[in-house]
Structures are given as structure tokens and as C-alpha cells.
Amino acid sequence: MAMNNLLIAIIARDLRLAWRRRSDVLGTLFFFIIVVSLFPLGIGPETALLRTIAPGILWVAALLATMLSLNRLFAADYADGTLEQLAIAPHPLAITALGKIIALWISTGLPLVILAPILGLQFDLPADALLTMTLALLIGTPILATLGAIGAGLTLGLRGGGVLLALLILPLYIPVLIFGAGAVEAVIHGVSPSGHLSLLAAGLILSLAFAPWASAVALRIALD
């Protein structure tokens, strides 16, 4: 019971903080929109080509946008000492990390998922592909947030942390990218995406089980 209360308290607190710093959240979202819109400008406006590359582009942009938002996950709490207080509190740090991950996903991952079908329309994706993409992003973006939390913990307070975070985390994101974009591509080619989506869901369960714990270890190392 106490665990649930802690989790909810952390989520509520982080969401409130995110609400008060709306420009950060909006910045990530607009980054996503701009990156996605750059590709047609670079590649050319041919509809057939854009339709084939759309799943990959949207997913890569989602990966990058998530990665940019990760800097915010622990940095402010680390800078003002809150994180240290949370770490010495008698609750498991993994629960705290999980709460912060969930709040981060609600504030940046979820808007991205909601926005994705609209951006998909820019690429002339058919309706069923749009639906699958939204579903795949809904399962996939929480994985990105949980895995990213490990990297955010490891690079906490380091000089050039942003680039370093990309080096550490992007290789680990590759399976999510493959299955996420694969699901959409499967629908475009008329195959069932259930295999890809199941693997994504399995990845989500695995990462939810282990990543908060690993990011707690990473935070303890950083705070040591």
C-alpha cells in the first residue's frame, strides 16, 4: 500500500513540475514534428517513396525526441539535492525511479503517440497503418523511457552528458526501432503485425521489470 502511495505521489509531483515547465515538454514535441517534417524536404515529395519510409522516420524521430527529454528526468532533482533525499528515504529507490519514468512518459511519450497519426497523414499512410503505428508507439515509447532512465542515471551531472547519453542509449534502442517500424511496415505490406506487437509488448514487460531497478543502481552510483 505504502509503495503504491509513494509511486502515485512521485508521479503526481513530477507531472506537476512538468506542467509548470510546459515549454520543455512542448520543445520535445516540436522537435519531433520538425525532425519528421525535414525528411520529405530532404528526400523529395514523391508519395510512394514517402509512404515506404514513413514508419522508419517516425520511429527514429520518436527515439531522438525521447532521448532529448531524458536529460530532464533526474537532472533538476540532482542539481537541487532532492534526488539525494529521495535516495536516503526508507523507500526503494527503484519505485521512485519507476514513478519518475511513468511521469516522463505521460508528459512526453504520450503526446508523441497522440501526435504521430497526424504526422503519419503527412506521409499519406493508410488508416490501418496509422492505427498500428499508434499502437506500436503506445507500447514502444514506454520501453524507450525505461531503458533511457538507466542512461540518464549513468550520465547524471557529467559534462557533455547529452552526447554521451546518445552513445550509450541509442544502440540499446535498436530492437524497439526494428519491431516498432516493422509492425507498421507489415501492415503496409498486408501482413499481420501481431508478431511485432507481441515482441514489443514482451520488451515492455521485460524493461518494466528490470530497468527501474537498474536505473536505481545507476542513481546510487552517481550519488555515491
Interacting residues with another protein (CB under 8 A): 150, 154-155, 158-160, 164, 167-168, 170-172, 174-175, 178-179, 182, 185, 199, 203, 210, 214, 217-218, 221-222, 224
C-alpha grid cell for residue 38?
A: 525535414
Considering the complex, what minimum distance in angstroms separates the CB of residue 72 from another protein? 20
User: What contacts 201, CB < 8 A, 6 or more positions away?
Assistant: 139
Nearer to another protein, 116 or 214 (CB): 214
Q: Which is nearer to another protein, 141 or 155 (CB)?
A: 155
Alpha-carbon 123 to chain mean position:
22
**Cβ closer to another protein: 123 or 179?**
179
173 vs 152: CA distance, rounded Å: 14
CB of 9 to another protein, least distance (A): 27
Closer CB to another protein, 126 or 195, in the complex: 195
Asked if residues 119 and 134 have their Cβ atoms less than 8 Å apart, the reply is no
Residues with Cβ < 8 Å from 111, sequence gap 6 or more?
Answer: 25, 29
